[in-house]
Structure 1
Amino acid sequence: MSLIQIKDLSFSYPGSYTPIFDGVQLQIDSTWKLGLIGRNGRGKTTFFRLLLAQYEYQGSITHEVAFRYFPYPVANPEKMTLEVLQEACPHAEDWEFMKELNLLDVEIDRLYLPFATLSDGEQNKVLLAALFLNENTFLLIDEPTNHLDDEARQKIADYLAKKQGFILISHDRRLLDVCVDHILAMNKASIELQQGNFSSWYLNKQQQDQFELAQNEKLKKEVKRLNEAAKRTASWSNQVEKSKNGTTNSGTKLDKGYVGHKAAKMMKKSKTHEKRMQEAIHQKEQLLTDVEEIENLKLQPLFFKQANQVLAQELVLSYADKIINQNPLNFTIQNQERVAIVGKNGSGKSTLLKAILQDSTVNTTGLLKISPQLIISYVPQDAEFLAGSLKKFTEDKAIDYVLFLAILRKLGFAREQFDKDVASFSAGQKKKVLIAASLCQPAHLYIWDEPLNYIDLISRIQIEQLILKFQPTLLFVEHDQAFQQKIATKIIQM
């Protein structure tokens, strides 16, 4: 065991007036299994790059362990998988690789195939295995389960649960609950380190936010009461002071000393009220800096006049002359149904979505009936193609620019992001741009292909609440098990 000590860490990107980190103090045990969470754009991946000394920063980071980053950059994917692993961990023996792959349910013969021929899940598994075999290392694991099917996610979760000495960036609640013992949360105004998994952290976070909101309301009322009391006392003091040269009802002169003493006493009381008010204001300013407001999103689903929006009977899909599903599909999608397409990677989930979108690259046999009057809003799986200004994006999509920006604000975007090129956004922010566009579009059917990839946990909860409230007709592919189980009313099994 050794310590990773971070002292007075400050960093901001060139040309930016807003620091990503400002005087951060952290002490991390190198045996911890640490989950790193926070809204998109809060600096999670930047934190990894600072640990890897890829950026210049102020402060100090001291450590006795070597940091290694996942995903490991494979220079030549055409090499045999065993060669790639030997590059990632030069000191490991072949039998050690085999032992680790056995834990991950990867066939040993994969070692002797070109790395590029392995599935995404297999590639992630073998690279994780190699990196964990390096001695005296602390892994920085960046979203290892994106795009992976449920089975691959579960294997990686089980594997990581048996390991120690890593920081894991993930937006998968199940994964974080299974395999971490500490949470490092990048909040709005602070960085918080807490023992436990995501569920325990989130429960504590909700309780703390509720306490601060209640305390804030209490202090607001106290400040108002003290302000009014101070004004009344000051007014009485001035009136008494003015009466020093007056007379009583019997015509005798007032005792100036007594009146002055009474005025001073009132003024002292006013000053006491003012001091207490300033203390209450100071307490109030310390609250709400980290409260995560899960603002309500809105949607405008349209009701389709026919019973079935989509009808499939004995449907077989083919792509590039390759039959995708050997077992014909039979299903309907009706108003307000939320239909999840599930299956292993490569089983044809995205191909089915493309068929319903009437993509000409997908061929079908059997019946696939889609009304020409059906209005569809589509969120594609990939968001990397996005570039240019948000204004131009909304013009191309023919959506309301002001409404679009309002949705992005609710999804955690800072206003300064709006003037930047979308190409500079993080992967999660790009995905939010696509989702915000879809939310601006009134539609009969919303088709979302892995909408939550790279999207932070708070935003996932917002989107869940939105769907449950407005009950749109939704056809989706999503590997986040918690989301899938909460949202889906019907399953199409590929």
Structure 2
Amino acid sequence: MSLINVTNLTFAYDGSYDNIFENVSFQLDSDWKLGFTGRNGRGKTTFLNLLLGKYEYSGNISAHVSFEYFPFHVENKEVNTIGVIGDIAPDFPHWELLRELSLLKVDEDVLYRSFDTLSNGEQTKVLLAALFLKENSFLLIDEPTNHLDMNARQLVSDYLNSKSGFILVSHDRSFLDNCVDHILSINKTNVDIQKGNFSEWWENKKRQDNFELAENEKLRKDIKRLSDAADRTSHWSHEVEKTKNGTRNSGSKVDKGYVGHKAAKMMKRSKGIEQRQQSAIDERSKLLKNIENAESLKISQLAYHKNQLVELENVSIYYGEKMVCSDISFTIGQGERIALTGKNGSGKSSIIKLICGENLNYTGTFRKGSQLKISYVSQDTSHLQGNLTDYARDNGIDESLFKSILRKLDFARVQFEKDIASFSGGQKKKVLIAKSLCEKVHLHIWDEPLNFIDIISRMQIEELLLSYSSTILFVEHDSEFCKNIATKIVEL
């Protein structure tokens, strides 16, 4: 066991006037299996880079272990996979590599294939195996699930559960629950560490939030009651004081000493009430600072004149002579939320491209409703650049609605002034989803929309899709999201 101490950490990027971390202090144990969570843009990847010494910061980070970051950058992907592993972990015992590959269900023959011929999932598993060949290191694992299908996610989660000594950034609730024993969360105003998995942390957070909301309401009522009492007492004191120089109704002289004593007593009482009121205000100011903004989203789809929007019957799709999927049959009806599932490479994206209107070579029967309007969210965000105002104009969507949705998805107003290219991966995905929600269409098609998106935003999107009779076809490997949302599953 070794401790990693973070003391008074403060950091902001060059040219930025808002700190990502400010006087943050906490302690980690290098034996923990640590899940790392927080909303997009809060600084998870930044913190990993600070551990790696990539940026200058004020404060102190002390550790008696070295840090290794995943995913590794592979300079030359054309060399054999075993050469890539050798560059990452020189002088590794071959039997240890075979053991790690076996745990990850990767065949040994991939070692002697060019790395670029491996699927994204195979590349992820091979690099994870190389990561765990590193001895005496604390491992920083940044979103390993983004290129893994559901089966591969379960396999990798089981693999990580057998290990220890890592920080894992992931937004997949089931994945985290299966393989971590502590949660490190970046909240609005602090960094918090709790023992347990994500679901346990989330239940604790909800209990704390509910307690703070109830306490806030109680103090709000107390402040109102005390404020009214202070006003009344101050008024009575003032009225009594005014009688010192007057006469009683009977015409006799006023006892000024008595009246002065009574006025002073009332003033003292008024001061006491004001102090209690200020104390309640101070207590209230400590609450609600870490309650997340998770306002409801809205979707306004157009009604289509027919119940059935799309039909595929025995459809097979080809790229040249290569068949990427065969004999696919399903329909999309109004109000259906259809999860398109299957292993990587099974043809999910090709089916989506066909429905969206790309000119693909296929056999079988494919029918799509005339004048059917579709909104598509792609996996790729690399094309995003420029400011949000221009992006809204160029895509013909309402700018105020677009930015309102982004605000609800935890965008700070300062983000609206930045180049989209500088956004985090999750923030870029939110731009695509917000754009899609602004479009007046009959059908939404989302291809892996949740990659990089934080868990609270995923829950907002779940609530949105459940609250409206939305029609959506989606590919998503987050098993919890699919379980909660899908009315129909089409497995390729």
The Cα of 1:248 is off from its aligned counterpart by 2.1
Which structure 2 segments of 5+ residues have no match?
none
Q: Which runs of structure 2 are paired with 1:60-79 in the superposition (5 Å)?
A: 60-79=60-79
Q: How many angstroms does 1:302 deviate by?
A: 1.7
Deviations 1:80-113 (A, max 9, x none): 1111112211132111100110011000111111
Q: Structure 2 CA distance, aligned partners of 1:91 and 1:7? A: 36
Question: Which deviates the most, 83-92 or 471-480?
Answer: 83-92
Contact kept in structure 2, 1:355 and 1:363, CA below 8 Å: no
Q: Confirm or deny: 8 A CA contact 2:124 2:147 kept in the other structure.
A: no
Q: What is the 5 A alignment of 1:58-457?
A: 58-325=58-325, 327-360=326-359, 362-457=360-455
Distance, in Å, in 2 between the alignment partners of 1:384 and 1:173 is 26
For residue 328 of structure 1, give the secondary structure of its aligned residue in structure 2.
strand
User: Deviation at 1:293?
Assistant: 3.0
Structure 2: how far apart are the matches of 1:333 and 1:246?
87
Rounded to whole Å, the distance in 1 between the matches of 2:116 and 2:199 is 37
Structure 1, 36-45 or 112-121: larger mean CA deviation: 112-121
Q: Which amino acid aligns with 1:440?
A: C
Q: What's the CA shift for 1:161?
A: 0.3
Deviations 1:269-318 (A, max 9, x none): 00001000100001111011100132100000122111310011121111
Amino acid at match of 1:407: I
Determine the C-alpha separation between the residues in 1 that align with 2:264 and 2:206: 47
The answer to whether the Cα contact below 8 Å between 1:386 and 1:422 also exists between their aligned partners in 2 is yes
**1:482 equivalent in structure 2:** 480
Q: What is the percent sequence identity of the aligned residues?
A: 57
8 A contact 1:337–1:489 mirrored in 2: yes
Contact 2:316 2:364 in 1 (8 A): yes
After superposition, give the CA deviation of every residue in 1:93-141 in whole Å (9 maximum; x if it has no partner).
Answer: 1111001100110001111111111111111111111111211100000
Aligned mates of 2:446, 2:251 — CA distance in 1: 89
Letter of the structure 2 residue corresponding to residue 366 of structure 1: G
User: Partners of 2:187 and 2:469 in 1: how far apart?
Assistant: 31
Distance, in Å, in 2 between the alignment partners of 1:194 and 1:491 is: 36
* Displacement after TM superposition at 1:372 (Å): 2.3
Contiguous gaps of at least 5 residues in structure 1: none
Partner Cα separation in structure 2 for residue 32 and residue 112 of structure 1: 34
Shift of residue 321, structure 1, vs aligned partner: 3.5
Q: How far apart in 1 are the matches of 2:294 and 2:214?
A: 16
TM-superposed CA distance for 1:147, in Å, is 2.5
TM-score, normalised with respect to structure 1: 0.98
Q: How many residues align?
A: 492
**Equivalent-residue separation in structure 2 for 1:233 and 1:321 (angstroms):** 90
Q: Which moved more, 1:242-251 or 1:207-216?
A: 242-251
| Residue type at the aligned position of 1:463 | I
- Cα distance, 1:249 vs structure 2: 2.8
Contact 1:244–1:259 at 8 Å: present in 2 too? yes
Instruction: Extract structure 1 runs of 4+ deviating beyond 4 A.
Output: none
SS at match of 1:388: coil
TM-score under structure 2 length normalisation? 0.99
Shifted more, 447-456 versus 327-336: the winner is 327-336
Contact 2:293–2:410, Cα closer than 8 Å, also in 1: no
Partner AA of 2:39 in structure 1: R
Aligned-residue CA RMSD (Å): 0.9
Is the CA contact (8 Å cut-off) linking 1:91 and 1:134 kept in structure 2? no
Question: Shift of residue 9 of structure 1?
Answer: 0.3
Matched-pair contact (CA < 8 Å) for 1:299–1:442 = no
